Amino acid sequence: MCGIVGVFYKGDGAVGPVGQVMSDMCDQLFRRGPDSAGVALYGAPVDGGLVVRVDLDRPDLDTAEGEVIAAADEVTSVKDAARSSRSLRLIVLDDAEGKLADVIEERVLGARVFSVGRAMEIVKDLGMACDINARYDLGRFTGTHGIGHTRMATESRVDIAHSHPFWARPFPDICVVHNGQITNYHKLRRRLEQKGHRFATENDSEVIAVYIADKLEAGETLDSALRASIGDLDGTFAYLISTADGIGLARDQFATKPLLYAEDDEMVVLASEEISIRAVFPDPTLVPRELQAKEVRWWLR
């Protein structure tokens, strides 16, 4: 059991308090996932650069920060760096060869790159969503959309790297949150590895992110990638996939994992349970809808 949430502000240039909304919605689902929580927030795209989020599993955070900046400077140029708790946020010029994350992790002990993108920033940690909000100061984050997760670990270990959201490494701006189990994980992972993709964790949900990103890279639409996933992914799932342009979702053929959404003219919110939607949409006339088995849906800018 896990909780997944998402928010998407409709229309060109529409933004909202994504950080606070994701935190409030995750808080309502803490019973579905007390192990860890995480969010992927999409702010204003960096002009002529990329935003990178690096987790530093080190007691000497200042030294580690310096080492990461030095490593990043070898592949690109670091324009800005800021840190809240152990999450280091870099603005870099580019990542032409998609090697930035690998180089940082190879050079710096305890550094893990959670996200690279023009807009996407992934922050995740052990414990409750409200604590993570406070620890990483997410409340002030405004943006176009975001997804979040509260985790009850079943298939892989409880640590920060195995928490959601999972970045579809090395594809910028694509990540996933998932509730369920992917039972053909090893087969899918092998197939994707044969195509040259690599995985950062042992978590089954990571395969969904890479699977979708692989299809998008090949030129498929998000709609067709989502529809293909219903047949290709075996197991139980309700997942949200997020790209630079918006959010997509799919639910398995047995409708084993819950997922609802509610929308008005301005925004769409998605969650495993209505209680989470009500944290953002208290208006009783707005009725959330539960997705059917095999249903896919997306909201793109």
Partner 1 sequence: MAQVTNEAVVLDAEGTETRDVNRAIRRAIDEGATEIRVLHPAGRHSLGVGLKADGVTVTFEGPVGWYAAGMNFGPHVIVRGNCGWAVAECMMDGRVEVHGHAGSGTAASIRGGLVYVVGDAGARAGIAMKGGTLIVGGNVGYMSGFMMQLGTIIVCGDAADGLGDSMYEGTIFVGGSIASRGADAEIDETTDEDRARLAAELEPFGIDAAGFDFTKIRSGRKLWNFSTKEPELWKSAL
Q: Which is nearer to partner 1, 154 or 253 (CB)?
A: 253
- Quick one: which segment of 98-106, 116-124, 170-178, 288-296 binds partner 1 (CB under 8 A)? 288-296
d(C-alpha 40, C-alpha 173), whole Å:
9
Q: Which is nearer to partner 1, 59 or 284 (CB)?
A: 284
Residue type, 138: L
Class of residue 232 by CB neighbours under 10 A (exposed 0-12, middle 13-18, buried 19+): middle
Q: Tell which one of 97, 254, 264, 266 touches partner 1 (CB under 8 A).
A: 254
The answer to whether the beta carbons of residues 43 and 141 sit under 8 Å apart is: yes
- Quick one: which segment of 38-46, 81-89, 110-118, 280-288 binds partner 1 (CB under 8 A)? 280-288
The verdict on 172 binding partner 1 (CB under 8 A) reads no
Which secondary structure element, helix H or strand E, spans residue 29, and what is its range?
none
Q: How far is the CB of 278 from partner 1 (least distance, A)?
A: 5
d(C-alpha 100, C-alpha 75), whole Å:
6
The verdict on 292 binding partner 1 (CB under 8 A) reads yes
- Quick one: which segment of 5-13, 127-135, 205-213, 277-285 binds partner 1 (CB under 8 A)? 277-285
Q: How far is the CB of 163 from partner 1 (least distance, A)?
A: 24
Which 45-74 residues touch partner 1, going by CB under 8 A? none
The verdict on 286 binding partner 1 (CB under 8 A) reads no
The answer to whether the beta carbons of residues 260 and 20 sit under 8 Å apart is: no
| Residue showing tokens 């809808």 | 289
The answer to whether the beta carbons of residues 248 and 296 sit under 8 Å apart is: yes
For residue 45, cis peptide bond before it (omega within 30 degrees of 0) = no
Q: Tell which one of 45, 110, 235, 288 touches partner 1 (CB under 8 A).
A: 288
Q: How far is the CB of 276 from partner 1 (least distance, A)?
A: 8
> Order of strands, edge to edge, in the sheet holding 296-300?
166-167, 175-182, 235-242, 246-251, 296-300
Joined together, the tokens standing for residue 284 give 């009783």
Q: Tell which one of 72, 258, 270, 280 touches partner 1 (CB under 8 A).
A: 258
Is 26 a known active-site residue? no
Q: Tell which one of 27, 121, 206, 273 touches partner 1 (CB under 8 A).
A: 273
Which 13-42 residues touch partner 1, going by CB under 8 A? 31
Q: How far is the CB of 149 from partner 1 (least distance, A)?
A: 19
Q: Which stretches does DSSP call E strand in 137-209?
A: 145-151, 166-167, 175-182
DSSP β-bridge partners for residue 235: 182
The verdict on 235 binding partner 1 (CB under 8 A) reads no
**Active-site positions?**
2
Instruction: Kindly list the residues in this chain that would bind partner 1 in the complex (CB under 8 A).
Output: 31, 253-255, 258, 273-278, 282, 284, 287-290, 292-293
